[in-house]
Amino acid sequence: MLRIKHKRAECIGCDSCASDAPEYWEMAEDGLASLIQLSEAHGVFEFAKAFGDDREVLEEVASACPVGIISLEVVSVGSKRSQ
């Protein structure tokens, strides 16, 4: 399983992630992208679970974010974080 890590406060509202992966992000009323399936928040970071089958598109979304605030983590069954 994958986990998306998003530093929402630094979003510049370019709409790229919401356009390319609308099942994971939407543009909120404040003009910033929001994770749709938000599962956790720690400090400035927000997290959402993602399907392994979506890894390729999510890696593209992460690399396309102009401010580099999206990353992916691999989560093993039975542990919160393995990477």
Indicate whether 15 belongs to the interface with ligand SF4 (CB under 6 A): yes
Indicate whether 44 belongs to the interface with ligand SF4 (CB under 6 A): no
Indicate whether 71 belongs to the interface with ligand SF4 (CB under 6 A): no
When binding is defined by CB under 6 A, the residue of 11, 21, 35, 48 that contacts ligand SF4 is 11
Structure tokens that stand for 26 in this block? 């939407």
Contact yes or no for 70/8 (Cβ under 8 A)? no
Residue type at 57 in one-letter notation: V
What count of other Cβ atoms lies within 10 Å of the Cβ of residue 36?
13
Contact residues for ligand SF4, defined by CB under 6 A: 11-17, 33, 65-67, 69-70
